[in-house]
DNA sequence: GTTAGCACTCTTTAGTGTAGAGTGCTAACA
DNA sequence: TGTTAGCACTCTACACTAAAGAGTGCTAAC
């Protein structure tokens, strides 16, 4: 529906605006880019593009800036999948080598490098929703009155809580008890164990309420530990170097959004189905970021969603670059994760 | 060294400026406060106070604002220990009742209420530096190749790591090993155990490097877990509602400071010796907050520093109110902590 | 010692003029 | 019919000016 020339002009305007943050005028285009047509012709095309809703004009004597519709068209139809420069690739590779010790480090490092390369805020959500299977339990002695109740899953996770020993109960009785309960629960998915399932165990404990509630507490604690979502933010300061966020009130508003961890989580979880998701300006349903764009990608391991990466910035964002970076990071995380699980074997 | 009248005028200027954030002029004072003297007299006194270094003048035709020296004098000599309003007390009491489940909740809640009542940023540093004594270790079975190494301290803390079982070694051999090492280490302060101390243990393991390094790893992991300082921030957004922080660049600078967790920790740890510490404006040695004041208090339990509370804001701070709030919170945390350890008994 | 009076200083706000950038329209051209 | 040169027009940004307002410092009188 757009002519080749219109597409060309639109792309130039978008990319020039992304680079300079200044409205783009017809003369600028004619001067900077060699299209072989005069400013007047460009003006006519721009006028048409504005009617079609692709361009906005801040005021009569300013150049044009791209509308949300233009960015959408740009992302969907104009961008060709680019690749990173060798420099960028080397930067990322070294980045991880120096920093990664455990899983949290991976997410943390990813947040940092992502914000650094995108010059915007990065959000990394670690979904630790893994469903492990219950293996066995033990009471480790502590003192006369207390013991440590340990739950162990088949994949080697362990959780514990301190319990009161019923008066007069000996360690061998506790061991017996642990064995019996273990027999009942062994091999069960951790998240299917609830107070009802534990009811059988209750009989083992012969109605000792304290012991039972401790057991329940340890189980739910472990379940929650598994479900935990962790959010890593990077580059808040950088975001406020963007020329669109130089106003104190705007900064405060954005800070408000970034402080609400739950809102951020909701935002990231809203688009976990597709591979890569770009939400542009007014497409955002969350208040406070309607002049922002967000690019997010989920990262899966063995089919399970392990994390979500996202970059949040002004609609005037380097979509091409950010998308390439996220693409690469997605692949890279795979490698890093595999290395890590190798190391744990 | 100051006359009664000078003290009175100084106090009025400070408190008026704290309340309004506007330079205070001689006519304003004469109009608002009934001192029985004319603006001209007040002007003379103000002139003297300026010479003495207590007042500054932004420009010739503006009123006066208090200098750091004035705030210092105010805090040291003019403030009378005030008490909170019943409203405030009720607010705090309810605040904790609703929110506190575990230790981290206490710190988190404290940060929130502190920032809310001070209208500035609150910092709460939880020093978890407790030195527990090593009790015993165990190898819990996991699978043919791996076991879970558990370290238990006398106060019931437990830490673990997954270790490779040397080829062909049986569980009873592991148990034997654990018993022997336990005999050597039992009762030792956790932080005195290092690779040298573990050398004896090394002989027990008969030179198995893997096992030894796992043991070392578990011990250091546990030591680090003990040392962990945790920082809770509250009310960043509120700080930027203060009229002195309405400039985008100033906001960015402050954000930079608040993002540097290590700097904040150093700031808080710098004044842990005294009970209550007020650092005013240029007294601050950390860059970026030289127009800020910080009020901090350490919270001790059984003589050990458990946490540090602090409020960071512009030098124009409601010292009186903040000091009372921190006073109260300090006492209140004591109560909450005791309740918590009661519950754990 | 206190105070009224007054000149002086400085900020703030509104208003004016100008340069510069960019557009839209029209008429001429290929 | 598409393209372009030319020109009037619009709007912003910036500099400059003027006037109002707040507050001081000084002096002379009480």
pLDDT by residue for chain B (345 residues), tens only, comes to 889 999 999 999 999 999 999 999 999 999 999 889 999 999 999 999 999 999 999 999 999 999 999 999 999 999 988 889 999 999 998 888 776 656 677 888 899 999 999 999 999 998 766 677 899 999 998 888 888 888 888 877 788 888 888 888 889 988 988 998 898 889 888 888 887 877 766 666 666 777 788 888 888 877 877 777 889 999 998 999 999 998 888 999 999 999 888 899 988 888 666 678 999 998 988 988 999 999 999 888 777 777 899 999 999 999 999 999 999 998 888 777 776 655 544
Q: Please, what is the average pLDDT of chain A? A: 87
What residues contact residue B87 under an 8 Å CB cut-off, 6+ apart?
none
B336 vs B327: CA distance, rounded Å: 15
Select from B207, B227, B247 the last residue of a domain.
Answer: B227
More confident residue, A254 or B143: A254
Question: Contact at 8 Å (CB) between A274 and B272?
Answer: no
Residues A183 and A322 placed together within one structural domain of the fold: no
For chains A and B, CB pairs below 8 A equal 65
pLDDT attached to residue A206: 62
Among candidates B138, B156, B344 on the partner chain, residue whose Cβ is nearest the Cβ of A142: B156
A10 vs A13: CA distance, rounded Å: 5
Residues A67 and A106 placed together within one structural domain of the fold: no
Least confident of A181-190, A200-209, B261-270, B314-323: A200-209
Determine the average pLDDT of the residues in A44-68. 94
For the domain that residue B19 is a member of, what is the CATH number? Answer: 1.10.10.10
Question: Contact at 8 Å (CB) between B158 and B152?
Answer: yes
Residues A266 and A221 placed together within one structural domain of the fold: no
Q: How far is CA B180 from the centre of its chain?
A: 42
Domain that holds residue A142: 134-227
Residues B242 and B118 placed together within one structural domain of the fold: yes
Residues B336 and B197 placed together within one structural domain of the fold: no
For the domain that residue A270 is a member of, what is the CATH number? Answer: 3.30.450.40
- Total number of domains in chain A: 3
Q: Does the pLDDT of residue A225 top 80, yes or no?
A: no
pLDDT attached to residue A20: 94
Question: Contact at 8 Å (CB) between A16 and A29?
Answer: yes
Residues A234 and A336 placed together within one structural domain of the fold: yes
Least confident of A11-25, A247-261, B17-31, B46-60: A247-261
The first and second tokens of residue B42, run together, are 């007040």
CA of A2 to C1' of C26 (A): 26
By 3-state DSSP, what share of chain B in percent is helix, strand and coil, each rounded to 5?
50, 20, 30
Residues A144 and A112 placed together within one structural domain of the fold: no
pLDDT attached to residue B272: 62
B234 vs A206: CA distance, rounded Å: 47
Residues A21 and A151 placed together within one structural domain of the fold: no
Sign of the alpha-carbon dihedral angle for B163, B164, B166, B167: positive
Phi-psi bin for A178: left (phi > 0), alpha (psi -120 to 50), beta?
Answer: alpha
Nearest to A158 by CA among A188, A180, A136, A126: A136
Distance from CA of A23 to the nearest CA of B (A): 23
A226 vs A246: CA distance, rounded Å: 41
- Any idea which residue has 């997605």 for tokens? A330
**Alpha carbon distances (Å) from B81 to A51, A64, A243, B324:** 68, 62, 47, 7
Among candidates A150, A240, A247 on the partner chain, residue whose Cβ is nearest the Cβ of B252: A240
Question: Contact at 8 Å (CB) between B194 and B99?
Answer: no
| Cβ contacts of A259 on chain B, cutoff 8 Å | 236-237
**Alpha carbon distances (Å) from B299 to A134, B47, B99, B306:** 41, 42, 20, 6
Question: Contact at 8 Å (CB) between B153 and B221?
Answer: no
Q: Does the pLDDT of residue A10 top 70, yes or no?
A: yes
pLDDT attached to residue A68: 95
Percent residues over pLDDT 90 in chain A: 45
Select from B227, B257, B284 the last residue of a domain.
Answer: B227
Select from A172, A194, A227 the last residue of a domain.
Answer: A227
More confident residue, A40 or A273: A40
Nearest to B56 by CA among B10, B94, B117, B87: B10
Q: What is the pLDDT of residues A264-313, one digit of tens each?
A: 998 888 866 667 899 999 899 898 899 999 999 988 877 777 789 999 99
Question: Residue B189 gets which letter from DSSP?
Answer: B
Q: Best residue in A140, A141, A155, A250 to probe B by mutation, most B CBs within 10 Å?
A: A140
Q: How far is CA B178 from the centre of its chain?
A: 40
Residues B108 and B249 placed together within one structural domain of the fold: yes
pLDDT attached to residue B335: 79
Q: What is the DSSP string of A142-173?
A: -SSSEEEEEEEETTS-EEEEEEEPPTT--HHH
pLDDT attached to residue B58: 92
Task: Answer whether B160 sits within 8 Å of A162, measured CB to CB.
Answer: no
The first and second tokens of residue A190, run together, are 């951790």
Residues B139 and B180 placed together within one structural domain of the fold: yes
Determine the average pLDDT of the residues in A31-43. 92
Question: Contact at 8 Å (CB) between A296 and A310?
Answer: yes
B306 vs B188: CA distance, rounded Å: 22
Q: Give the pLDDT band of residue A220 (cuts 50, 70, 90).
A: confident
Among candidates B156, B158, B252 on the partner chain, residue whose Cβ is nearest the Cβ of A146: B156
For the domain that residue B139 is a member of, what is the CATH number? Answer: 3.30.390.60
pLDDT attached to residue B177: 87
Question: Residue A50 gets which letter from DSSP?
Answer: H
Helices (H), B38-148: 39-51, 68-73, 86-99, 103-118
Determine the average pLDDT of the residues in A160-180. 86
pLDDT attached to residue B340: 60
Nearest to A7 by CA among A77, A80, A81: A77
Residues A182 and A296 placed together within one structural domain of the fold: no
Burial class (CB in 10 A: 0-12, 13-18, 19+), B117: buried
Residues B218 and B272 placed together within one structural domain of the fold: no
- Residues contacting nucleic strand D by the 7 Å CB criterion are A 36-38, 40-41, 44, 59-62; B 23, 25-28, 39-40, 43, 46-47, 50, 57, 60-64
């Amino acid at each position: 529906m757009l002519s080749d020339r219109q597409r060309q002009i639109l792309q130039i305007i978008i990319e020039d605006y992304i680079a300079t943050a200044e409205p783009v005028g017809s003369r600028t285009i004619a001067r900077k880019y060699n299209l072989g047509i005069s400013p007047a012709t460009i003006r006519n095309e721009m006028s048409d593009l504005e009617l079609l809703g692709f361009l906005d004009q801040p005021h009569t004597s300013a150049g044009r800036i791209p509308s949300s519709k233009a960015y959408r068209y740009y992302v969907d139809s104009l961008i060709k999948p680019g690749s990173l420069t060798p420099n960028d690739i080397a930067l990322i590779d070294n980045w991880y080598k120096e920093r990664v010790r455990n899983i949290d480090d991976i997410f943390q490092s990813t947040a940092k490098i992502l914000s650094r390369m995108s010059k915007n805020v990065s959000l990394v959500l670690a979904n630790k929703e893994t469903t492990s299977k219950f293996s066995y339990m033990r009471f480790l002695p502590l003192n006369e009155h207390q013991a440590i109740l340990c739950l162990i899953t088949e994949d080697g996770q362990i959780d514990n809580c301190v319990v009161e020993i019923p008066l007069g109960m000996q360690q061998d009785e506790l061991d017996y008890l642990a064995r019996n309960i273990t027999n009942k629960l062994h091999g069960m998915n951790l998240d299917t164990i609830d107070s009802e399932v534990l009811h059988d165990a209750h009989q083992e404990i012969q109605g000792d309420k304290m012991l039972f509630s401790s057991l329940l507490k340890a189980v739910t604690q472990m379940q929650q530990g598994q479900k935990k979502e962790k959010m890593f933010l990077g580059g808040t300061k950088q975001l406020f170097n963007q020329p669109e966020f130089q106003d104190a009130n705007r900064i405060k508003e954005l800070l408000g959004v970034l402080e609400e961890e739950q809102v951020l989580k909701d935002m990231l979880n809203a688009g976990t189905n597709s591979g890569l998701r770009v939400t542009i300006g007014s497409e955002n349903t969350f208040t406070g970021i309607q002049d922002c764009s967000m690019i997010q990608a989920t990262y899966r391991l063995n089919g399970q969603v392990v994390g979500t990466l996202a970059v949040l910035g002004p609609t005037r964002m380097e979509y091409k670059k950010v998308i390439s970076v996220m693409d690469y990071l997605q692949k890279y995380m795979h490698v890093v994760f595999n290395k890590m699980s190798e190391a744990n074997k």
